[in-house]
C-alpha cells in the first residue's frame, strides 16, 4: 500500500542534494534558473528520488523536467498508479 506523498519530504531531499534551503524548493522553481542546478545535479537528484520513492524515471522524461512541479507531477502520477493497482 503506497503512502500519500508529502511535499515537505521532497523539499528536504532536493535541498540536501542541491545544497540549498528546503524553503527554496517550490513547485514553480526552475532547476536551472532558480536553483542553479546543472545537468549533473539533476541526474543526482533524480537518482535520489528513484531510490526514495522506488520509481524509475525514463531518460525521455528526464529531459522534460524543467521545474520542481514537473518532478512532483511525475511522483503524483506514479503514486496514483500504485493506489489503483
Q: Does 32 interact with another protein (rule: CB under 8 A)? A: no
Rounded CA-CA distance 78/82 in Å is 6
Rounded CA-CA distance 81/59 in Å is 20
Q: Does 61 interact with another protein (rule: CB under 8 A)? A: no
17, burial (CB in 10 Å: exposed 0-12, middle 13-18, buried 19+): middle
Least Å from the CB of residue 37 to another protein: 11
Q: Does 43 interact with another protein (rule: CB under 8 A)? A: yes
List contacts with another protein (CB under 8 A): 13, 16-17, 38-40, 43-44, 47-48, 50-52, 54, 56, 59, 62
Amino acid at each position: 500500500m503506497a503512502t500519500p506523498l508529502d511535499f515537505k519530504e521532497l523539499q528536504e531531499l532536493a535541498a540536501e542534494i542541491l545544497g540549498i534551503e528546503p524553503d527554496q524548493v517550490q513547485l514553480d522553481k526552475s532547476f536551472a534558473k532558480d536553483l542553479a542546478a546543472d545537468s549533473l545535479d539533476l541526474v543526482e537528484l533524480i537518482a535520489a528520488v528513484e531510490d526514495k520513492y522506488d520509481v524509475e524515471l525514463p531518460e525521455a522524461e528526464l529531459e522534460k523536467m524543467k521545474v520542481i512541479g514537473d518532478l512532483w507531477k511525475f511522483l503524483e502520477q506514479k503514486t496514483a498508479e500504485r493506489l489503483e493497482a
